[in-house]
């Protein structure tokens, strides 16, 4: 690869989903003979370092958003807005200082709103161009989102165009400079789950920021103990809260190959309704139970949308999980209902064109 073909890839530290989906973009850049230089913080930093040990990775300022179990999600995020705006400014200052020391041909940011520069082609990846919030608060928030997207040369939406899509109304927009690059999944092209021997009843994939991630892990572990069969629990952290037993095997959420094999060998998946998790499910064509993070409107919208449109099971409360799984194991699932994604070649063509290749 040529040394002057370096692209800075900046990844949000809001759970691991942004890191895992950026793996697709990183591989695309390598296929196009660019050299990705990665920038991340927290768990995303360590996941990228572990999965791309041959690439340079820089630690960037993090957003470090946290959730309170007692405060409704929307209020919790609203009270942290000053902190978020401050972190975006820190991020922008960090990038400007980095660019004084070394050049890049382009910047690709996954939801890092401070990672752009007026002298370098800057692109942002986000599926949420239309917020699922109504009323005056929704209009104000939407105006803020549009303003935050304006400095970027293009918005890359990890979805397909039209109504038969993955993100529903969230990825509809009235923006200029938009490219649909298709669903991004680290399991892209892996269809072996259809024929895999089923050795486990449930595979639970835990993700998201703390402390909600830990609450979810504890609740799922307790529920799985009451469900017959052997189960897998991937914790989304550097170390599980529980030790493995004969009934429940506990792992981290770092190894994509291990997770892919586990998913293939499981009857059903339990996961949050985060968009990155849904793109993985679509790629693997697996039956799943979707449990939105409490109060998170985006996940509630996506769980309802995928349940109504594509036949997934929306679990509204963990208290109902046992009964939902027992019923869901017998419920048929038609993977053919899912949208058709764009091809790898088409996505790489879009990226190549944006980078001037």
Tens digits of pLDDT across the chain (357 residues): 444 799 999 999 887 889 999 999 999 999 999 999 999 999 899 999 999 999 999 999 987 666 555 555 555 556 666 777 888 999 999 999 999 999 999 999 999 999 999 999 999 999 988 776 667 766 777 788 888 899 999 999 999 999 899 999 899 887 889 999 999 998 887 665 555 677 898 999 887 777 778 888 998 998 889 888 999 998 877 778 899 999 999 987 655 567 778 888 888 899 999 999 999 999 988 889 999 987 788 899 999 999 999 989 898 877 777 777 777 777 778 888 899 999 999 999 999 999 986
**How many CA atoms does the CB half-sphere of 261 hold within 13 Å?**
3
Structural domains of the chain ordered from first start: 6-183+341-354 (3.40.50.2000), 192-337 (3.40.50.2000)
354-357 CB contacts, 8 Å cutoff, 24+ apart: 354/106, 354/121, 354/123, 354/153, 354/154, 354/179, 355/7, 355/32, 355/34, 355/105, 355/106, 355/121, 356/121, 357/32
pTM for the full predicted model: 0.87
Cα 302 to Cα 92, 136, 183, 343: the distances in Å are: 31, 22, 14, 23
What is the C-alpha to C-alpha distance for residues 137 and 40, in angstroms, rounded to an integer? 31
DSSP state of 355: T
**How many CA atoms does the CB half-sphere of 71 hold within 13 Å?**
12
What is the C-alpha to C-alpha distance for residues 248 and 250, in angstroms, rounded to an integer? 6
């Amino acid at each position: 690869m040529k040394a002057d073909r370096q692209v800075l890839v900046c990844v949000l530290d809001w759970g691991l989903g942004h890191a895992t989906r950026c793996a697709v973009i990183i591989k695309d850049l390598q296929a196009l003979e660019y050299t990705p230089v990665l920038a991340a913080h927290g768990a995303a930093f360590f996941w990228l370092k572990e999965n791309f040990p041959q690439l340079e990775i820089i630690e960037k300022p993090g957003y470090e958003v946290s959730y309170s179990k007692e405060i409704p999600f929307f209020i919790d995020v609203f009270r942290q807005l000053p902190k978020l705006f401050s972190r975006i400014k820190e991020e922008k200052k960090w990038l400007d200082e980095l660019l004084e020391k070394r050049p890049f041909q382009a910047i690709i940011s996954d939801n890092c709103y401070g990672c752009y520069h007026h002298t370098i082609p800057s692109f942002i990846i986000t599926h949420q161009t239309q917020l699922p919030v109504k009323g005056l608060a929704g209009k104000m928030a939407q105006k803020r989102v549009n303003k935050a997207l304006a400095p970027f040369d293009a918005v890359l939406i990890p979805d397909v165009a039209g109504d038969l899509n993955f993100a529903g109304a969230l990825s509809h927009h009235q923006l200029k400079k938009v490219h649909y690059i298709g669903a991004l999944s680290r399991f892209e092209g892996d269809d072996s789950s259809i024929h895999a021997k089923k050795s486990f009843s449930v595979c639970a994939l835990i993700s998201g920021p703390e402390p909600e991630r830990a609450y979810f892990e504890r609740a799922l572990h307790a529920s799985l103990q009451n469900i017959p069969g052997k189960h897998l629990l991937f914790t989304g952290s550097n170390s599980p809260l529980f030790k493995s037993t004969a009934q429940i095997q506990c792992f981290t959420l770092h190894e994509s190959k291990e997770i892919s094999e586990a998913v293939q060998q499981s009857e059903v998946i339990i996961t949050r309704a985060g968009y990155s998790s849904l793109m993985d499910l679509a790629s693997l064509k697996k039956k799943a139970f979707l449990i939105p993070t409490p109060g998170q409107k985006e996940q509630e919208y996506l769980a309802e949308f995928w349940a109504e449109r594509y036949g997934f099971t929306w679990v509204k409360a963990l208290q109902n999980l046992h009964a939902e799984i027992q019923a869901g194991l017998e419920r048929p699932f038609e993977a053919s209902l899912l949208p058709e994604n764009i091809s790898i070649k088409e996505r790489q063509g879009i990226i190549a064109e944006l980078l001037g290749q």
